[in-house]
Amino acid sequence: MKKIGLVVKKRPEAERAALEASEWLRKRGIEVIIEQDILAISDLTSPFPNPPSDLSCVISFGGDGTFLGAAHWIEDSRIPILGINMGSLGFLTDVAGERIFSVLADVLSGDFCIEKRMLLSASVIRDGSEVIAQTVLNEVVINKGMLARIAHIRTSIDDLYLTTFKADGLIIATPTGSTAYSLSAGGPIMYPTLQTIIITPICPFTLTNRPLILPDHVVINANVGDKDYGSFLTLDGQVGSEITSEDIVVIQKAPHAIHLIKTRGYNYFEVLKNKLGWSGR
Report yes or no: 124 and 245 within 8 Å, Cβ to Cβ: no
Q: Where are the beta strands (DSSP E) in the chain?
A: 3-8, 31-35, 57-62, 81-85, 95-96, 112-126, 129-136, 139-144, 151-157, 160-167, 169-173, 196-202, 212-215, 219-224, 231-235, 239-243, 247-263
Q: Is the pTM of this model over 0.85?
A: yes
Note if 168 is an active site residue. no
The domain 119-255 is placed in CATH, from the list 2.60.200.30, 3.30.565.10, 3.50.50.60, 3.30.2310.20, at 2.60.200.30
pLDDT digit of tens for each residue in the chain (281 aa)? 889 999 998 888 999 999 999 999 999 999 999 887 555 544 555 555 678 889 999 999 998 888 998 998 888 888 999 999 887 667 888 788 788 999 999 999 999 999 999 999 999 999 999 999 999 999 999 998 666 678 899 999 999 999 999 999 999 999 999 999 999 999 999 999 999 999 999 999 888 889 999 999 999 999 998 887 788 999 998 778 899 999 999 999 999 999 999 988 788 898 888 888 887 66
Closest CA to 169 of 233, 108, 124, 119: 233
Domain boundaries, the chain: 3-111+264-276, 119-255
d(CA 73, CA 62): 15
Q: Which of 64, 94, 228, 247 is catalytic?
A: 64
Strands 247-263 and 139-144: unpaired
Give the gyration radius of the chain's Cα atoms: 19
> Is the torsion defined by CA of 67, 68, 69, 75 positive or negative?
positive
Enter the CATH code of domain 3-111+264-276. Answer: 3.40.50.10330
Residue range 203-226, pLDDT digits in tens: 998 888 899 999 999 999 999 988
Strands 81-85 and 57-62: parallel
